Structure 1
Amino acid sequence: MPIVVAGEEAIRVGSRMQANQDIGNDVIFLIMATLRRRCHPTLAHDLPRMAVIARLPVLSPGDGTDRYSEDLRHDITFTVNEIARRAACSQPLALRIGSYSSVLDPEAYARAFPESYFSPTSVETSKEAQGASLEQRVADSCTAVVYAKLPLDNVHAWQCAALRRNARVAIFRVCHTEGTLPAQAASHIQRLIDAMPLTCQ
């Protein structure tokens, strides 16, 4: 059974999610983080921490203006809490928020995060994760190195996506194999970045 949130708040939120994909991504992130906090209290901070590490544009102003008015923030908070309260912890989540509908898999979303932030309904296991859980990746100091060099907050041409993803995987490997030799690792990492076209760096 889908979770239907049909009050005035949800109608306004659903309309904004349909009109603006960035708002949709933000609301889904908040739903996933809130549900994770309820269902897995010991892992409650992993999604927000990874969002910061990867420099995701969560709740960021759009085009230099704040797209989240106080009223919209209130509506989103109400809607997110209502969904998290009613959702089951161990199965995919079918949602209807006003006129917006989606089917989400919280566990798959977490496994593929932070990439799943940008494609929450069609997630695949992250190639960058290298088989590690979200909890392990957040605790891994090399994760911060990777996203410091190639964050997810910048907008790049679609042709850059695979190049940057492959470079992140390579940086992870360099960090783990040469982590005891900072100067050597830094030089190797910089060569990996320099090998990409300037528009993708």
Structure 2
Amino acid sequence: MSDQFVIRPAREDEIPAVGYLIAYAFNDLLADAYLVPPLADRVNVMADFFTLLTEHAQSYGRIDVIDRPGGDGLAATAVWFDYTREAPDPENYEERLAALAGKYLDRFQALDELFAKHHPHDEHWHLAFLAVHPEEQHHGLGSLLMRRTHAELDAAGTPAYLEATNADNVRLYRRHGYVDMDPFEMPLPDGTPFFRMWRKPA
């Protein structure tokens, strides 16, 4: 791993850029295609959605970023929520979700219901989003971001949880100590699955 990639906390004014990076990196995922089927709408709607959640992580978790070489935007991000303490919903969440989702609101509500139903109750940190710019992939940036937070969670004896989106991601997370939960799959209404995974502290 090149020393050109340095992890730092996201600034408040970078939250929209983090949301856009996640939307851009996730644009081809089946889950995003379910939420916003038309490609013409997808990135903008999803960027607003990811920005809303990332904004909340500033108060109830952490947002790590890595800059692209040369300072041309963000290369990667990891957005975590701390569920070892009370973490309320974002302020005015339902109203803000309705405003950004528009005619796709019922799909986002189905996603929220699915995640709420299957979220573990034990104390943990939740890796909500791990995103790498498509032009910066295959440099190990996702692993670099995970190792940084996992080291802190291991020292504190805190487990981690995530919902993987496809088989490639499941393999990546297994390499970092995550194991399949029961139930493992949780499908959206159209059958698109997420995969629940849990990591015990080392």
Task: Confirm or deny a common fold (TM above 0.5).
Answer: no
- TM-score, length-scaled by structure 1: 0.28
Structure holding more helix per residue = 1
Which has the larger share of strand? 2
- Greater RCO between the two (CA within 8 Å, min separation 6)? 1
Higher Cα Rg: structure 1 or 2? Answer: 1
TM-score, scaled relative to structure 2: 0.28
